[in-house]
Amino acid sequence: MAASEDTTPTTDTTETTDDRVRLEPGQEAPAFSLPDADGNTVSLADFRGRSVVVYFYPKADTPGCTTEACDFRDSLDALEGTGTTVVGISPDPVEALAAFRDKHGLTFPLLSDPDRTVLRAYGAYGQKKNYGKVVEGVIRSTVVVDPEGRVTLAKYNVKATGHVARIAKEIGAA
């Protein structure tokens, strides 16, 4: 399946405006090593042998990001039943990630990318139009990586509501 925009109808007015990187199925997923909410380093290589949903979100404990994270939390058993785990990445500091995790009972890793290197490598950071203004920021995106480290699905500019259910269905967890 090709990288694509999530075409679900929405009232969100965010759209991308630049030609940033877009990962495609079959490509090797960019390697990363980032601190988790406890300050421990987590790498993509740690998940070798399992599929992983890597989702990118703008800011911990904001309405859309909370909806998406809690939907992943609530779908985690079904996803793990297919051999898939979940990792969330944002530019938040580890302290904010720990508070977000604890407040919402999130049991999957939340990783901090304050310099946005991994966000950029995955095409999840760049210019976007938000309510008519061009701004630079995190573009809500999800990439599914297979057990060998290759991209199997890449969704860009996704909407928080309903997104997790669509991903779960596409990977056979729904």
Across 3-21, average pLDDT: 45
Is the confidence at residue 8, as pLDDT, over 50?
A: no
Is the confidence at residue 40, as pLDDT, over 50?
A: yes
Closest CA to 12 of 64, 65, 61: 64
Residue ranges of the domains in the chain? 60-129+137-174
Q: Is the CB of residue 149 less than 8 Å from the CB of residue 28? A: yes
pTM above 0.75, yes or no: yes
**Residue 20 pLDDT class (50, 70, 90 cuts):** low
Is 70 one of the catalytic residues?
Answer: no
Fold of 60-129+137-174: Glutaredoxin (3.40.30)
Task: Work out whether the CA dihedral 145, 150, 155, 156 comes out positive or negative.
Answer: positive
Across 65-74, average pLDDT: 97
Is the confidence at residue 12, as pLDDT, over 90?
A: no
Amino acid 19: pLDDT: 57
Closest CA to 118 of 54, 53, 48, 67: 54
Is the confidence at residue 59, as pLDDT, over 50?
A: yes
Residue of 65, 87, 144, 164 marked active site: 65
* Residue 56 φ/ψ, nearest 5 degrees: -115, 130
Is the confidence at residue 2, as pLDDT, over 60?
A: no
Each residue of 83-131: pLDDT tens digit? 999 999 999 999 999 999 999 999 999 999 999 999 999 999 998 887 8
Q: What tokens does 97 get?
A: 């990630």
